[in-house]
């Protein structure tokens, strides 16, 4: 059965769309094809386009920049999708973009081997700002993060269903994003029968049960797949602390490679920990103790009690979603990293991550550098990593390089 939705986008074939001009004071250089045009960057026209309408973006001098979708509710006023004037923003273009994204993963997996779980569409990184598609076994999860993609949901779901024949598709928009985009949050299963329970996948030789509906984001953090394996190679022995462990990814990968003898894995979410406990048991890893706690509090408690670890993973949630929150985010990262360094044994391994799009690699490097100075520890970066290959990064959209992961040795 093909998905049917009530509303379908009126797909224009005539390129006669409202024109919006960049504000000359705010105008950034859009030659770089950054897909986000912020509210302050455009001159608001006397008659505003409708939310969801295709618009043309022009330089203050009238030269054409690109074509995208307007949203009167969002701070990202226009999401640009085309930079070639002759193109048409329609269902065929959408299908081509989706096909290109899929081909990339097929090429990658043809050399690496087929994976149970893979990101098929990575928003800006695949030229489809606002669309994330993950595959978990026979199921797909679609996360919509922009009105433009919400408007195209019918076309997207039909294309995915026809091309991939999934058992079912879970489609959602979370409350925070829905509010920003002027929509209502939703999540539902379409195009088939939802799974009757957890979905099981295998990653780096570890069996994982996932709850695709109640889980965070699209159900599981696929972006850290290669980092878990890389970290496991350095975490060879002793006592490990896994901070913000979610389903236990880093701990399980480390235990699978004969690493730590004793692991404390912490997260604030009890539902996530329940799945993590199940995953540890089903893989036979009895050395992991899971604990519900706030990451800042638990590090402080370990420090007060004089507890020490041989390796520590810090994988906190996003702390800044925009540049204005950067300073408070950097202070929080500094606190976490400093606390970790204070309870890490000599010759220890620190794996420190940031998934905040507005925190750059240099920012995280700076945090680590000042935490090292403050704790009087020598920190060697062994590997500076990002999200796994199925999460491509757009060179002109630094925010798409959102995941930073430094694997370090601490003297
Ligand atoms: N390391 C995980 C991914 C972590 S995502 C993996 O490999 O899959 C970030 C995690 O931080 C989420 O599981 C979230 O529940 C948790 N979290 C959010 N706020 C927290 C807090 N204040 N203290 C501890 N955990 C927190």
Q: What is the pLDDT of residues 242-276, one digit of tens each?
A: 999 999 999 999 999 978 999 999 999 999 999 99
Pocket of ligand 1 (CB under 6 A): 216, 221, 224, 244-247, 249-250, 267-269, 272, 294-295, 315-317
Instruction: Centre a 10 Å sphere on the Cβ of residue 96 and count the other Cβ atoms it contains.
Output: 12
> C-alpha 110: how far from its chain's center?
24
| Interval between CA 236 and ligand 1 midpoint (Å) | 23
Question: What percent of the chain lies above the pLDDT cut of 90?
Answer: 78
* Confidence tier at 4 by pLDDT (50, 70, 90): very low
* Confidence tier at 114 by pLDDT (50, 70, 90): confident
Order across the sheet with 54-58: list the strands.
Answer: 19-21, 54-58, 64-70, 76-82, 36-38
Tell me what pLDDT residue 2 has: 42
**Cα–Cα dist 346/150, whole Å:** 51
Is residue 288 within a helix (H) or strand (E), and if so which, with residue range?
Answer: strand 288-292
Q: Which of 244, 255, 295, 355 is catalytic?
A: 355
Q: State the average pLDDT over residues 129-139.
A: 96
For the chain, the domains span 14-82, 91-190, 199-410
In tens, the pLDDT along 16-39 reads 899 999 988 766 666 678 899 998
Rg over alpha carbons for the chain, rounded to the nearest Å, is 22
Output the residue whose Cα is nearest ligand 1's atom 15: 269
Q: For helices 295-304 and 326-342, what crossing angle results, to 10°?
A: 30
Say if residue 192's pLDDT is above 60. Answer: yes
**Cα–Cα dist 130/76, whole Å:** 11
> CATH class for domain 91-190?
alpha beta
What residues does 206 pair with on adjacent strands? 203
| Interval between CA 314 and ligand 1 midpoint (Å) | 9
User: In 59-150, at which residue ranges do the beta strands (DSSP E only) sit?
Assistant: 64-70, 76-82, 117-122, 131-136, 139-144
Length of the chain: 411
Tell me what pLDDT residue 45 has: 82
Q: Are 280 and 290 in contact (CB under 8 A)?
A: yes
Output the residue whose Cα is nearest ligand 1's atom 13: 246
CATH superfamily of 199-410: Vaccinia Virus protein VP39 (3.40.50.150)
| Interval between CA 22 and ligand 1 midpoint (Å) | 39
Tell me what pLDDT residue 15 has: 57
Q: Are 344 and 304 in contact (CB under 8 A)?
A: no
Tell me what pLDDT residue 13 has: 43
* Confidence tier at 398 by pLDDT (50, 70, 90): confident
Say if residue 183's pLDDT is above 90. Answer: yes
Q: Is 376 exposed, middle or buried (0-12, 13-18, 19+ CB in 10 A)?
A: exposed
The answer to whether residue 397 is catalytic is: no
Q: State the average pLDDT over residues 262-291.
A: 95
Tell me what pLDDT residue 29 has: 63
User: In 48-125, at which residue ranges do the beta strands (DSSP E only) sit?
Assistant: 54-58, 64-70, 76-82, 117-122
- Which residues contact residue 275 at a Cβ distance below 8 angstroms, ignoring those fewer than 6 apart? 198, 209, 210, 211, 215, 247, 248
Q: What is the pTM of this model?
A: 0.90
Give the 3-state secondary structure of residue 69.
strand
In tens, the pLDDT along 61-110 reads 899 999 999 999 999 999 999 999 999 999 999 999 999 999 999 999 99
Q: State the average pLDDT over residues 178-198.
A: 91
Closest CA to 245 of 133, 116, 353: 353
> C-alpha 206: how far from its chain's center?
21
* CA torsion through residues 277, 246, 391, 361, sign: negative
* CATH of region 14-82: 2.30.130.10
């Amino acid at each position: 059965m093909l998905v049917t939705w009530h509303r379908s986008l009126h797909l224009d074939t005539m390129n006669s769309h409202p024109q919006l001009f960049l504000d000359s004071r705010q105008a950034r250089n859009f030659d770089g094809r950054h897909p986000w045009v912020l509210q302050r960057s455009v001159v608001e026209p006397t008659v505003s386009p409708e939310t969801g309408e295709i618009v043309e973006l022009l330089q203050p001098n009238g030269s054409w920049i690109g074509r995208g979708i307007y949203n009167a509710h969002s701070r990202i006023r226009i999401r640009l999708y085309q930079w070639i004037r002759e193109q048409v923003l329609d269902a065929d273009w959408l299908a081509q973009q989706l096909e290109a994204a899929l081909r990339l993963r097929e090429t990658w997996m043809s050399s690496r081997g087929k994976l149970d779980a893979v990101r098929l569409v990575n928003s800006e990184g695949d030229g489809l700002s606002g669309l994330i598609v993950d595959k978990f076994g026979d199921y797909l999860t679609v996360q919509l993060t922009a009105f433009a993609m919400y408007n195209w949901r019918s076309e997207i779901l039909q294309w995915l269903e026809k091309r991939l024949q999934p058992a079912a598709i879970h489609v959602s928009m979370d409350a925070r994003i829905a509010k920003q985009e002027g929509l209502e949050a939703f999540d539902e299963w379409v195009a088939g029968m939802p799974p009757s329970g957890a979905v099981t996948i295998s990653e780096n030789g570890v069996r994982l049960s996932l709850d695709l509906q109640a889980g965070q984001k699209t159900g599981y953090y696929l972006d850290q797949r290669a980092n878990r394996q890389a970290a496991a190679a350095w975490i060879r022995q002793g006592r490990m602390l896994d901070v913000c462990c979610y389903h236990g990814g880093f701990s399980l990968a480390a235990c699978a490679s004969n690493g730590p003898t004793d692991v404390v894995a912490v997260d604030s979410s009890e539902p996530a920990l329940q799945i993590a406990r199940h995953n540890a048991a089903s893989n036979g890893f009895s050395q992991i103790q899971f604990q519900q706690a706030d990451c800042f509090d638990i590090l402080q408690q370990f420090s007060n009690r004089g507890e020490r670890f041989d390796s520590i993973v810090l994988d906190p949630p996003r702390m800044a979603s925009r540049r204005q929150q950067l300073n408070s985010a950097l202070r929080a990262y500094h606190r976490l990293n400093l606390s970790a360094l204070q309870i890490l044994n000599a010759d220890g391994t620190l794996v420190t991550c940031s998934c905040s799009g507005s925190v750059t690699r240099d920012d995280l490097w700076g945090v680590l550098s000042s935490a090292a100075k403050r704790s009087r520890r020598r920190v060697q970066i062994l590997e500076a990593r990002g999200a796994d290959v199925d999460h491509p990064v757009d060179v002109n959209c630094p925010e798409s390089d959102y995941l930073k992961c430094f694997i370090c040795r601490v003297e």
